[in-house]
Amino acid sequence: MTDLCAEDLATIYAKPSPRVIAKARPAIDAHAKKFIEMSPFCVLATSGADGSVDASPRGGSIGFVHVAGPNQLLMPDRSGNNRIDSFRNVVEGSGFVHLLFFVPGIDETLRVGGRGTLSADPDLLAAMVEFGKPPRAVLNVAVSEVYFHCGKALMRSKLWSSEKVQRSVMPSITEIIHEQTSLGEPDSQAVVEERYKEQL
């Protein structure tokens, strides 16, 4: 297998149309704001000082990411595994972040890019209580680019199809990690789900 170089790409892919270039906007408009306010899930991508990249799923109630202005998003951080790879990248790495928002039932996705900073301001945390708990920190994104992705990827994957995989086809996450590392208890999926509910 031969790796492609930059010159090869031009022979394989046509130039993007003017509309594809123009759709990248410098701020959150009414359409993007509505989409974010309907979204219960997004993926947060960050880059580290060593050039590494982290992509992390983030979710909450519908509209859990707050549109504070045309160039500002506020994302509360909920209970997780405490690796904080994303946040280390924000404070120690480039500071650049990208968010990919999903709305169940809509095949298009929304990409938002900018620079992130973190806050643990008590008043801000108190204003973002969800599931009966304040967040541990809030990611403040200074937005510089916003655009919608077409729906082809989600259409190909049939992501919103009613045909769902049964959870029982995979072991629980604790069973997987126990087998991989011999650490922790190999709890059943039912036990894991109850623990998840307690830790939301």
Task: Kindly tell me if the per-residue pLDDT of 200 is higher than 80.
Answer: no
Contact between 135 and 124 (Cβ < 8 Å): no
Q: Is residue 94 part of a domain?
A: yes
Same domain for 111 and 39: yes
Give me the pLDDT at residue 83, please.
87
Does some domain include residue 5? no
Residues 126 and 152 in one domain: yes
Half-sphere exposure (Cβ direction) of 99: Cα atoms closer than 13 Å: 30
Is the per-residue pLDDT at 125 higher than 80?
Answer: yes
Domain that holds residue 85: 16-160
Dist CA 72 CA 156 (whole Å): 32
The H or E element spanning position 34 is: helix 30-38
pLDDT at 144 over 80: yes
With b meaning 16 or more CB within 10 Å and e meaning fewer, what string describes 42-57?
bbbbbbbeeeeebebe
The whole-number average pLDDT for the span 129-158 is: 95
183 and 111, same structural domain? no
181 and 143 in one domain?
Answer: no
State yes or no: pLDDT of 95 exceeds 80.
Answer: yes
Residue 171 one-letter amino acid: P
Q: For residue range 153-198, what is the model confidence (pLDDT) as tens digits?
A: 999 999 999 988 999 999 999 999 999 999 998 899 999 888 888 8
CB 146 within 8 A of CB 25: yes
Number of domains in the chain: 2
* Model pTM score: 0.91
Cα-to-chain-centroid distance, residue 16: 26
Closest CA relative to residue 130, chosen from 66, 53, 194, 42: 66
For residues 139 and 191, state if they share a domain. no
Q: How confident is the model at residue 1 (pLDDT cuts 50, 70, 90)?
A: confident
pLDDT tens digits, residue range 41-88?
Answer: 999 999 998 988 999 999 999 999 999 999 999 999 987 888 899 999
Q: Round to whole Å and give the CA distance between 115 and 64.
A: 19
